[in-house]
Structure 1
Amino acid sequence: MHSTVIRRPGATPAHALSFFSLAAALAFPSAALAQDAGDAIAAEPAPPSPSAAGTGAQDSGEIFVTARRRSETVQDVPIAVSVVGGEHIDSTGSFNVGRLQQLTPTLQFYSSNPRNTAVNIRGIGVPFGLTNDGIEQGVGIYVDDVYNSRVASATFDFLDVDRIEVLRGPQGTLYGKNTTAGAINITTRQPTFDFEGRAEVSVGNLGFRQAKAAISGPLSETLAARFAVSSTHRNGTIRNVVTERDINEQDNLGLRGQLLWQPSDALSVTLAGDYSEQDPECCGTVYVRVGKTQRPLNRQYEALAAAQGYVTPSRNGYDRLTDLDASLNAGNKIGGASLKAELDTGLGKLTSITAWRFWDWKPENDRDFTGLPITTLSQNPSQQDQWTQELRLSGGGDSLDYVLGAFWFEQKVRTQGTQKQGPAASAWLINPSNPLSQDPSVLDGLTAENDIRLDNTSAALFGQVSFRPAPGVTLRPGVRLNYDRKDGSYDSVVTNGDGQLVTFASTDPRIVAQRGVLAPQQFTVDYEDWNFSYDFTASYEPTRDLLFYATYAKSFKSGGVNLNGVPSDSSGAPILAAATVKPESVDHFEAGVKAQFADRKATLNLAAFRTEIANYQALVTNGSLGVLRGYLANADKVRTQGIEADFSFRPSKRFNLYVNGAYTDAKYRRFTDAPCPPELSGGTTVGAGQTPGAPDVPGALSPANCDISGQRLPGVSKWGLSYGAEGNVPAGVLGLDGAFFLGVDGSYRSRFSSNPSPSIYTWIDGYALTNLRGGFRADNGLELYGWVRNAFGTDYYEQLQVPSGNTGLIVGNPGDPRTYGVTLRHAF
């Protein structure tokens, strides 16, 4: 439901200027973001926000977006953008980014836990695998203009969302933090001067319970407030036979409050605060398969498990059984506050956004992925604070618009890691030919304690001009000057069960065996760089319902520092050349057409793109358990290209449908020194004049690295599809006028690789998911409907993982089974 915001008389312009001056003085000393701006200020009547994939709740009206920081219809924006309205988010149960990917086929989401989460667009964004705090996201996540630097925010429930815009392609001259792959722009419902509210309760199988509520209204003639709350709980989808508990549950709570002060037509100030927390028993995996590696046969999974009499509870991952014996936890808290002020100066609109955000992460994992006490403790709690300041000034006339702006960002991350080995570690991790492998005390109690620190500063100046030299023709050049500085440190201290320090100086055979599992390391690293980027878009609108556009962007992704440890030389000294990672250099080409026809009842948008990335930041993992959790390197060149189509048809208020499709061809163009897949790992590394052995052959010689040029990027399907339809018939129930409705939403994605270097063991087969919903929607805002998600009970894996050690074990995260329930909603 959308309510009209009515401006109230209030302070004089002098008072308004005084307040803004005070707000600016209290803000951070640097300046921020600038983009195109429209004539309207934020407190104008909110336009309707139907979805590009409609539900029938909104069956007429334009789809408005603020992708370019101005209110305009999606058909007028020369950008490939998908729009999902709040009504559709609620109706389809897409309450976080993970579920949003089912509606937007060019979006990829992978998560083994909130910290180790990747959000990519068109196959690029962040490296697939373990997260490294020292690198940037390629996909920016923004909530009400505020950048969220930690991708863990993508795992939380959407809270009182009005719409979500998924922008595809580089957005460096549009958004405060440079993003090379795209942006997810989330806009929440704003305070209103008319009283309104909404409430929603859902219950379902697996103990699913979800409640959401929001209320908004005036506190005075110039002050309005809005408050929203959301709570979600669901039992776990995997049974742990050790603890006899269900794990990978959902346990989420979110709160958001906003105050809008509007003393005059010229000034609008919004103070917002939010807090969200998760406290599930999560995140575990299931056994998927075992593949042969080049490790000696007696050091591969089957032999090691047999030697200890270990049998996994099931060899069918879809039985959803595990026996993880270490504690699991995914405690996650995120929140912050922002102050947004908009002032019409007469020369242009001045916008200031000051924000602070925090993230606290308290995990526990079972890093051996088995029921054996090999790794009994693995945790990397982390605390992050970020501060951002944005300023933008925009103005112009009929033939020329301009924008000037700046962005400032500062981040502090502190991580404390602990890994401890158990009594089964010696037999599992030490070569059976070594007598020490028979002594559990050698590795029992071996502990690594890590202290990881990052201080990250970024600032940017940029501008954009929209010039219209002829009717229907618009030229939009944009530039960005960016500065980045990262200072990091990594300190890992290892002690054995006797309390002795494990060092590289010791020749004691027990110490030598211990540091082969957990090695100490200490280093500091700093990175500093300037980057200049630009883009140019030309568009032509021959008629009101037809738009052609073409874009070239020369962009970059900031360089980074490795903060998960780096390789060591033969003496144990860190190889500092691997401590920094070069920035990515991006060349992006895109062309598209946006069209409406059949009296604007049908919409068809097409886009073709090609993105080439030099010095692509790729994840490399070490083959020895626990020595390194992963580090980054630069692949020579990566390319992603493809075609996207979005079609929707609303022939009447009684029926609508949508189909969105994407073909994405994402490859390593040149990566000659990539980490090898498991089938080519684990054996003795080849020496001079030697030839690597064949894959899958135990005891064969292994290459030091592999050439994967021409192979697919991980995590991206060649073909993606989302579709849906809804029909309704008018009816009356218990004196309420309204309509019965029935809807379907489906998605399909073809097979994809689930390992940084494609492996024969980690391809995930393509799968299709179908969601159904149906019920009664009353004209007064009351709605009751039932829903079934994954209606056909499709078995699929969201992600496969290769545990370190080259034993051949493959584990995975199965997707949700069939779920069903009922929802009661009322908006007034």
Structure 2
Amino acid sequence: MSLTLAFLLAGQIATPPATPVVDPQTTADDTGREATGRTGPASSNAGGDILVTARRRAESVQRVPIAMSVIGGTALAETGTYNVNRLTQLQPSLQFYSTNPRNSAANIRGLGAPFGLTNDGIEQGVGIYVDQVYYSRIASATFDFTDTERIEVLRGPQGTLYGKNTTAGAINVTTRKPSFTPEARVELTGGNLDFFQGKASVSGPLVEDKVAIRLSTSITTRRGTIYNNRQNEWQNSQDNQSLRAQIYWKATDALDWTLYGDYNHQNPNCCVQYYARVGATQRPITRQYAALAAAQGYTVPSTNAFDRVTDVDTDLRAKQELGGLSLVGNLDLGAATLTSVSAWRFWHWDPSNDRDFIGLPITTVSANPSQQSQVSQELRIASNGTRALDYVFGAFYFYQTIDTQGLQVQGPAASAFLGAAGVDGLTSRNSIGFKNTSAALFGKLTWHPTDQLSISPGLRLNYDKKKGSYVSLVTTATGSTTLTSAQRGVLAPQSYQPDFDNWNLSGDLTVAYDVSDTVHSYATFARSYKSGGINLSGLPLDGANNPILATATVKPEKVNHFELGLKTQFADRRATVNVAAFWTEIQDYQTTVNNLQVNVLRGYLANAPKVRTRGFELDTAFRPTARLNVYGNAAFTDAKYVRFTNAPCPPELSGGTALPVVDGRIVGTPAAAGTPGNSLPYCDISGQMLPGISKWAFSYGAEYNLPVRLFGTDGQLYAGVDGSYRSKFSSNPSRSIYTDVDGYALTNFRLGYRKEGSWNVFGWLRNAFDTDYYEVLATQSGSTGLVVGQPGDPRTYGLTLSKSF
């Protein structure tokens, strides 16, 4: 079991070995165990080193300079970390938010993707890689971790090392490799809420010493945590299945190939957001939520979201299929290794949502089924670390297509609730197409002028082209395409073809100095770019309710990143303390904003002129005795808009009559916050915190074990605890008094018995104190004042049994 630690990585990114693991007990997950006794979320790498193959040779992550965390497969199992969402409880610098698989976002140090509804027309700043293959959308990475050897979380820009440019960091998932030694693994878990998870894998030779295969599968099912008393069913359930296969061919002593294939199917009854609270806006009192609901004779089942009951009246669905094929080849040239990574992947999305979030038929259909396909090719050559100058050079090509068929239907309560005559039955059918081409040349040198000093410059030349098509046909209940101004204010017909292309050159420089064998330091400067994009969710409207075509594209983000790091080990390497401090400035930050129309249902992308995030990270691990392991990680992240003067206003300053703008100046006086009257057309939110980012975040834990003899075999009885804390964060692009998510702490316990390399059985208790917390809050469209939420999981408990053969 390897542990969440912040490490420093220089040169090339950590990649799987060029040859498969011959002995299943010497994987990277277990290498740390052999060196240290135990490593993991409740332990330290004290007394030994966790190894990575960053430069095609095994080397300690403590000696290489990028902030990096590593979690092994056993640690993932024992902490219940079986997807990216749960990874955040072990990684203070990682944020993950999701209202459904498509509308998911992963951020590192507060950067990566805009907070809010996903827009396909832009890149993600956090790269997701599985066995060296780039996953172009975080939605396609919402699978369960299956047969995972380790997960590496790299913090900060990685564009000179990875195929795809990543300005915020990367999550690198490495699965277990085929083995020439026959082996099998089985893991079964059962728990409350009808939770069941089964994982199995088998590996062995097909042709002795030449061809090996690994097959693995997983199933996860769980009853929902939210009860819908209108539809008489549990919602926000889990229903995931996956299959994965690998075939390794050792063609010659110098050449090997690995063919990967995977298929994942998910069909949960998911995902519902519902009543959390109500806040006053600047709409007339009769047009705010309380009066609108009363006029319809409607009351929600409960005004306490943690009663976990709703009455949304639209069926929910979050069905997705994803998978693909990839071929990775390694040719050992002696002084260097040539690597080829070829891949094709697909993602099919079939949703159903209730976008009014309550039991009234306001918006009866809101869905954007989507089909995505991508191909990529990476060719990389890296030195084998045999001389004073190490290097990695690569070329990367990526092509992606997305086809989306949007449908939105306004129900029989729409006119009364939205205050717009004639919108009952109003229907929008959207045809959305997207083509994305990216190509790059990248490279990094590492020069060692002395045994203690290394200097590592890197460069990346990148080209991006995005081309889209958005056509929205809007019809009335009678099928007419002739619309009134009120109808166009709710659903506006649009047709536009955005186009963006851009070249950019980015680079970085890292200087690392080994003070001693156990004290290492580094300094990094990076200038990177996140590609510009196009709006594919509809454009804002002008005063005549026509789309503003100038907003069809968004500019690239320009990132200046500074980082200092120090990592140390002492007490005979039984203690590890790593510190990183960073300062990142972003010009033309890509963010989600709202239309000024009262009844708009979706936002669009725009650029905030300047954003800054800064902070520090502390990662510690201690092994005071052979039986006790303790760890503690902390992240302080101060992220804010430095300059954003024309941002959307928060709910309490929205909904009234918009004041006019004359010669660039707002004319008139707005009403007080939450008071009906005039509203500002836009707000200056310079200095406010960025959404989705806690200023303070911690993870911590301990594990204690005792040797025991049970049923005639020697093993370990162990008890562990893992905890996490996140302070308050904003859940709205413009901070609102209604959408701050209060800080919360989660605590997990486990108690079990294991025999190394054989079997493990343990009971677990997660969210042990049944803490009530929101994963995300959002507002209902129309400035009604309704705030909806998505509560986190309640207390869960169960038993896990795993066996290796």
- State the 1:560 CA deviation: 0.3
- State the 1:58 CA deviation: 8.8
Q: Match of 2:170, as an amino acid? A: A
- Within the candidate set 424, 449, 458, 1:444 is matched to 424
Which residue is 1:425 aligned to? 414
- State the 1:481 CA deviation: 0.2
Which residue is 1:209 aligned to? 196
Instruction: Give the TM-score, by structure 2 length.
Output: 0.94
CA distance, structure 2, for counterparts of residue 425 and residue 572 of structure 1: 19
Query: Do structure 1's residue 468 and structure 2's residue 448 form an aligned pair?
Result: yes
CA distance, structure 2, for counterparts of residue 169 and residue 356 of structure 1: 27
CA distance, structure 2, for counterparts of residue 685 and residue 219 of structure 1: 71
Which residue is 1:409 aligned to? 398
- Within the candidate set 514, 521, 525, 1:548 is matched to 521
CA distance, structure 1, for counterparts of residue 114 and residue 312 of structure 2: 27
Distance 1:201 1:38, change over 3 A: closer
Give the match's secondary structure for 1:426. Answer: helix
Which residue is 2:374 aligned to? 386
1:618-674: per-residue Cα shift (whole Å, max 9, x none)? 111225476452111110100000010100112343111110001110010111011
1:405-454: per-residue Cα shift (whole Å, max 9, x none)? 100000000110000011111111125xxxx4xxxxx3332110001111
Which residue is 2:152 aligned to? 165
1:555·1:585 contact (CA, 8 Å) conserved in 2?
A: yes
Give the match's secondary structure for 1:798. Answer: strand
Q: Match of 1:748, as an amino acid? A: Y
Structure 2 matches for 1:574-613, cutoff 5 A? 574-613=547-586
- State the 1:66 CA deviation: 4.5
Q: Match of 2:778, as an amino acid? A: Q
- Structure 1, unmatched stretches of 5+, are 3-33, 437-441, 504-510
Give the match's secondary structure for 1:305. Answer: helix
Which residue is 1:333 aligned to? 321
Give the match's secondary structure for 1:99. Answer: helix
CA distance, structure 1, for counterparts of residue 120 and residue 192 of structure 2: 37
Which residue is 1:493 aligned to? 473
- Within the candidate set 793, 803, 809, 2:770 is matched to 793
Which residue is 1:730 aligned to? 707
Give the match's secondary structure for 1:651. Answer: coil
Query: Do structure 1's residue 536 and structure 2's residue 509 form an aligned pair?
Result: yes
CA distance, structure 2, for counterparts of residue 201 and residue 626 of structure 1: 48
Which residue is 1:782 aligned to? 759
Q: Match of 1:615, as an amino acid? A: D
Give the match's secondary structure for 1:391. Answer: strand
Instruction: Give the TM-score, by structure 1 length.
Output: 0.92
CA distance, structure 1, for counterparts of residue 556 and residue 485 of structure 2: 37
Query: Do structure 1's residue 119 and structure 2's residue 117 form an aligned pair?
Result: no
- State the 1:35 CA deviation: 4.3
CA distance, structure 1, for counterparts of residue 579 and residue 494 of structure 2: 51
Q: Match of 2:614, as an amino acid? A: Q
Structure 2 matches for 1:3-402, cutoff 5 A? 35=12, 41-43=18-20, 47-49=27-29, 50=32, 53-55=40-42, 61-66=48-53, 71-221=58-208, 222-395=210-383, 397-402=386-391
1:37·1:70 contact (CA, 8 Å) conserved in 2?
A: no
Give the match's secondary structure for 1:83. Answer: strand
Distance 1:52 1:646, change over 3 A: farther
CA distance, structure 2, for counterparts of residue 497 and residue 152 of structure 1: 34
CA distance, structure 2, for counterparts of residue 40 and residue 169 of structure 1: 24
Give the match's secondary structure for 2:793. Answer: coil
CA distance, structure 1, for counterparts of residue 795 and residue 737 of structure 2: 29
Query: Do structure 1's residue 817 and structure 2's residue 797 form an aligned pair?
Result: no
CA distance, structure 1, for counterparts of residue 346 and residue 244 of structure 2: 15
1:696-752: per-residue Cα shift (whole Å, max 9, x none)? 002x11011000000100111110000011001111222232011000000001101
Distance 1:676 1:40, change over 3 A: closer
Which residue is 2:680 aligned to? 703
- State the 1:612 CA deviation: 0.3
Give the match's secondary structure for 2:777. Answer: strand
Give the match's secondary structure for 2:539. Answer: coil
CA distance, structure 2, for counterparts of residue 572 and residue 368 of structure 1: 22
Q: Match of 2:400, as an amino acid? A: Q
Give the match's secondary structure for 1:219. Answer: strand
Q: Match of 2:95, as an amino acid? A: Q
Give the match's secondary structure for 1:89. Answer: helix
Moved more, 737-746 or 58-67: 58-67
1:106·1:662 contact (CA, 8 Å) conserved in 2?
A: yes
Which residue is 1:506 aligned to? none
CA distance, structure 1, for counterparts of residue 14 and residue 308 of structure 2: 51
Moved more, 761-770 or 262-271: 262-271
Which residue is 1:9 aligned to? none
CA distance, structure 2, for counterparts of residue 779 and residue 610 of structure 1: 43
1:37·1:349 contact (CA, 8 Å) conserved in 2?
A: no
- State the 1:338 CA deviation: 0.2
Give the match's secondary structure for 2:449. Answer: strand
CA distance, structure 1, for counterparts of residue 761 and residue 17 of structure 2: 36
Distance 1:39 1:104, change over 3 A: closer
Which residue is 1:751 aligned to? 728
1:67·1:167 contact (CA, 8 Å) conserved in 2?
A: no
Q: Match of 2:473, as an amino acid? A: V
1:549-593: per-residue Cα shift (whole Å, max 9, x none)? 000000110000000011123344422210010000000000001
Distance 1:44 1:282, change over 3 A: closer
Moved more, 444-453 or 52-61: 52-61
Q: Match of 1:660, as an amino acid? A: N
Which residue is 1:691 aligned to? 669
2:366·2:407 contact (CA, 8 Å) conserved in 1?
A: yes
Distance 1:66 1:810, change over 3 A: farther
- State the 1:56 CA deviation: 6.2
Aligned residues: 780
- State the 1:403 CA deviation: 2.1
Q: Match of 2:469, as an amino acid? A: S
- State the 1:48 CA deviation: 3.3
